[in-house]
Amino acid sequence: MNAIDPRVHQALDGELSPEALSPELRRVVEWVVTTAAVLAAPLPLASLEPRVMALIRRPVPSRARRLLRWLATPRSITFRVRPVWSLALAAVVALLTLFPIGREGPDIGEHEGIAQFVGRFPEAQSVHVVGSFNDWRPGSIALEDVDQDGVWRATVVLPAGAYEYMFVVDGERWVPDHLAERLVADEFGRENSIVIVRPARR
């Protein structure tokens, strides 16, 4: 750091007239006075406030835009995984792919469909559906009343086609399906219901 000439100090303190100084020292005194005046001037606070307020008032970007920006911003992620866990995870994924959880029920063929039988028999102990789809063999397809509300149901996979059927209640009472819209005389003095099974894979 250069030392300031003591005469400059004296001139700045008013102890010495600037005219008494050499032209070079007079220029130094003038520079110091000018610089001090600039430094002494107040900071432009008035110009900072509007800028801050403008920033605050700027509309907030939408959630989607923020998400997009977050997604687009490059980030570095470090995984520290033991190889044994990686292999275990791969094995679990492979097992879930080969043996999916929650897949129940039979595989339905191209020419097969689903028939749903529903009947209301509040006093019944057992209900079966018997028809041309099971050679009229009583007892092979039982309906269930799971919630004990008197409504008996069965869902059956059958080859696509038309079938005649009846319900057998308590093993002895033959009853047509009152919900079926299709009925046909059975040539034995009663009516059979008709179900048309459409291919499930349409």
Write out the residues near other proteins by the rule CB under 8 A: 104-106, 108, 113-114, 116, 130, 132-138, 140-141, 155-158, 161-162, 164, 174, 181-188, 190, 192, 194, 196, 198-200, 202
Please say which residue, 124 or 197, places its beta carbon nearer to other proteins: 197
Please say which residue, 27 or 111, places its beta carbon nearer to other proteins: 111
**CA distance linking residue 22 with residue 49, whole number of Å:** 46
- Nearest distance, CB of residue 170 and other proteins, angstroms: 15
- Nearest distance, CB of residue 153 and other proteins, angstroms: 8
Query: What are the distances in angstroms from CA 33 to CA 18, 29, 129?
Result: 12, 6, 113
If you write DSSP's letter for every residue of 149-201 in order, what string do you get? SSEEEEEEEEESEEEEEEEEETTTEEE--TT-S-EEE-SSSSEEEEEEEPPS-
- Nearest distance, CB of residue 93 and other proteins, angstroms: 23
What is the helix (H) or strand (E) element at residue 120, kind and residue range?
strand 112-120
Query: What are the distances in angstroms from CA 49 to CA 40, 44, 45, 53, 59?
Result: 21, 10, 7, 6, 18
Please say which residue, 50 or 106, places its beta carbon nearer to other proteins: 106
End-to-end CA distance of the chain: 95
Please say which residue, 9 or 182, places its beta carbon nearer to other proteins: 182
Please say which residue, 15 or 135, places its beta carbon nearer to other proteins: 135
- Nearest distance, CB of residue 117 and other proteins, angstroms: 11
- Nearest distance, CB of residue 188 and other proteins, angstroms: 5
